Structure 1
Amino acid sequence: MPNTIRVAVSGAGAISEFHLKGWQAQDDVELVAISDPDLDRARARAAEFSIPQVFDDTEKMLDEVKPDAVDIITPVGTHATLVRMAADRSIHVKCQKPMTPTVAEAEELIGAVGDKVRFMVHENYRFRPHYAEVAQRVSNNEVGKVMAARLTVRSSSLNDYPGKTPFLLGRQPYLANFKRLLVFEILIHHLDALRSILGELEVVSAHLGQVNKALSGEDMALVTLRTIDGALVLIDANVSALGYPPLPTDRLEIMGDADTLVLDREKLFLMSREEPVTVHDLKANYQACFTGAVSAFVEGLRSGKTFPTDRMDNLKTLRLMEDIYRAAGVDI
């Protein structure tokens, strides 16, 4: 890689703010261009982040600017086309999750890209400082052998009181039409984080439900998984739970043969002792996970090491997501 990595960004939607702040935090990285079909939106982001060139077409941007890497922050249905476009021009890729709508499409895309370029999926939950600390403490054997785990996810992301627009639908209104919603759009993050903490998982059973009947997809899920060592993992999620905050709040219990480690929203502690308790700033951690993912991509480009969420690793998370839908009787 050159001393300064020149990066272009495809997509100027709401989530691009957090990507761009992540890029600004890097040393020797230059944001050289941004594209979006909505040129005014691209111009607004360019002005906010001092990006010199603006386009309404990603292909034109890649051809004219010739960046070293591109960050794809566009709807999932566009990912495969844009990734191929970049790979064909020898431009390294960081692509927002999910990589593609289905595992079959992801496998086809990975095969087409091959080793033309480095290719990382922006799956950021494992970079959240509280989840990274859980992974480190489990790795340090603080709970001993993991026997079971339970993750509870609650929010009002997809439901609100009459006359109000649910938070996530206000930010991403197209989600209302997703026939695969909670697992595909939200729990996929948690699945990847659990893989980083517990290792590979297999789906035992899954049940999906719906609170907000205006949605096309599910907003509730009960999923049972099993680790390679036989520990049972239960995910209990409801993101249309009135009274909860608009962003998901998580409680994760890792139960081992020596102790139980609990992440309860911002607090992380062992059940066997009153102290110490780690208290995380969840608002700060939200940006931190975007910055962490960008940092991992930059470090991987410079060192040649495999990205933590390399396309091959992320394929395993996609397969878990699809297996949950199959177990619940949903067609892929």
Structure 2
Amino acid sequence: MTIPQKEQSRTAEKVLRVGMAGCGWVSEHHLRAWSNLAGRAKVMCLADPVKEKAAARAAQFNVPRCFGSLEEMLDSGEIDVLDVATPRETHAAAVRAAAVRGIPVLCQKPFAPNLAEAEAVLEEIRGRTRLMIHENWRFRPYIRQMRAWIDQGLVGQVTQCQFNLLNSGFVPDAEGKLPAVLRQPFFADVPRMLMMEILIHHVDALRYLFGPLELLGAWLGKSTAGIRGDDSAAVLMRTQSDAQAAIVMQATMTAVGLPTRSPDHFQIFGTAGTIVFKDGLLRLLGPHSREITFDLDEAYRSSYRDAIAHFVDRLADGKEFETNAEDNLETLRLVEGIYANGLCEFQS
């Protein structure tokens, strides 16, 4: 994406004044991450149509000003960059509104509700502003470490990767309530749930680990009465390198008897070694064996910190974002393909 010269100099020379749109659940993680960039960036404004939410977040993080709408905040002249943490159906409009005003954007994934609109948004904003997608899973330290071991040749040629996410988040509790919906109520109403809301992170992380991927087949299932969208998935992909490797994803949030939440479980097999990540323990098996234990809560927090720091770094030096809009389109193409090829049919 072309980087406007005026914007480069503006964002590199002073402490960035940040405006954040959306004061729901995820906004707390964004604001904690921004607070680690004191001296480089400061959240000056919040915008949310629910004034009570904005006021509560402003008091919690000492944010000077609140607005009742995104447009008011963008037109205030009080921000240099926009952080979009609103529901995903509003992302495209927020990106367009910032682009019209030449304001750089960090937008939660996905930056549009479907691939066609994402492509349209990208064409509309090209050359007008810079856009980074807040796809933070790949910034988790264990993902970065796996990539480092692969790049160092410690597993040889990768032949297969298996990823599992298995939990009981959509299994009714003793009161008939769904634990995952209690944590994030909007899960109940989105027509594209597990793949678009959660596994999209892992598709992006797998692309980061192995490069371009090709979808070979997919199945999506739904057995939970209390939600609209998919709650189970099985996906088969392969790498597009000369020596192709199989990428297998299996996920369900309806596994009776398992915990209501589950950490990532990766197994990467290569000609010279095997990488296993489970329950916070990352192991390299084979002649170069080693292991690292990660605090999963800290890994979660650091993914927000490192993604937002990357945004600020690239604004300062003018280099390309790792998760720019063009890159995110590749993730969206795979996700759209999975919905198109899955056995269950869901509204878009």
What TM-score comes out, normalization by structure 2 length? 0.92
| Number of the residue aligned with 1:8 | 19
What is the letter of the counterpart of residue 260 of structure 2? Answer: P
What is the letter of the counterpart of residue 24 of structure 1? Answer: S
Which secondary structure state, in structure 1, belongs to the residue aligned with residue 95 of structure 2? helix
Q: Provide the rounded CA distance (Å) in 1 between the counterparts of 2:300 and 2:72.
A: 32
Q: Paired residue for 1:23, among 23, 31, 34?
A: 34
Pick which of 227-236 and 209-218 moved more.
209-218
Which secondary structure state, in structure 1, belongs to the residue aligned with residue 322 of structure 2? coil
Q: CA contact under 8 A between 1:159 and 1:241: conserved in structure 2?
A: yes
| Number of the residue aligned with 1:80 | 92
Q: CA contact under 8 A between 2:173 and 2:179: conserved in structure 1?
A: no
What is the letter of the counterpart of residue 310 of structure 2? Answer: A
Q: Provide the rounded CA distance (Å) in 1 between the counterparts of 2:168 and 2:254.
A: 5
Structure 2 residue 251 is matched with structure 1 residue 255: no
Aligned length: 332
Q: Provide the rounded CA distance (Å) in 1 between the counterparts of 2:144 and 2:171.
A: 29
| Number of the residue aligned with 1:191 | 203
| Number of the residue aligned with 1:285 | 299
Shift of 1:292: 1.0
Q: Paired residue for 2:308, among 258, 280, 294?
A: 294
Pick which of 237-246 and 219-228 moved more.
237-246
What is the letter of the counterpart of residue 136 of structure 2? Answer: N
Structure 2 residue 248 is matched with structure 1 residue 234: yes
Q: Provide the rounded CA distance (Å) in 1 between the counterparts of 2:41 and 2:168.
A: 37
Q: CA contact under 8 A between 1:179 and 1:218: conserved in structure 2?
A: yes
Structure 2 residue 128 is matched with structure 1 residue 99: no
Which secondary structure state, in structure 2, belongs to the residue aligned with residue 205 of structure 1? strand
What is the letter of the counterpart of residue 125 of structure 1? Answer: W
| Number of the residue aligned with 1:322 | 336
Which secondary structure state, in structure 2, belongs to the residue aligned with residue 70 of structure 1? strand
Q: CA contact under 8 A between 2:156 and 2:273: conserved in structure 1?
A: yes
Q: Provide the rounded CA distance (Å) in 1 between the counterparts of 2:227 and 2:114.
A: 20
Q: For structure 2, list consecutive stretches of 5 or more residues without a partner in the other structure.
A: 1-10
Q: Provide the rounded CA distance (Å) in 1 between the counterparts of 2:18 and 2:150.
A: 36
Pick which of 75-84 and 267-276 moved more.
267-276
Q: Provide the rounded CA distance (Å) in 2 between the counterparts of 1:166 and 1:283.
A: 22
% same residue: 36
Q: Provide the rounded CA distance (Å) in 2 between the counterparts of 1:171 and 1:25.
A: 26
Q: Provide the rounded CA distance (Å) in 1 between the counterparts of 2:30 and 2:42.
A: 13
Shift of 1:240: 2.5
What TM-score comes out, normalization by structure 1 length? 0.96
Shift of 1:304: 0.8
What is the letter of the counterpart of residue 335 of structure 2? Answer: M
What is the letter of the counterpart of residue 49 of structure 2? Answer: P
Which secondary structure state, in structure 2, belongs to the residue aligned with residue 249 of structure 1? coil
Which secondary structure state, in structure 1, belongs to the residue aligned with residue 93 of structure 2? helix
What is the letter of the counterpart of residue 128 of structure 1? Answer: R
Say if 1:161 and 1:274 are closer, same or farther in 2 by CA, change over 3 A: farther
| Number of the residue aligned with 1:41 | 53
What are the within-5 Å matches in structure 2 for residues 35-74 of structure 1? 35-74=47-86
Q: CA contact under 8 A between 2:44 and 2:78: conserved in structure 1?
A: no
Measured against aligned partners, the alpha-carbon deviations of 1:39-93 in whole angstroms (never above 9, x if no partner) come to 0110000011110001111100111144110101001111111111111111110
| Number of the residue aligned with 2:173 | 161
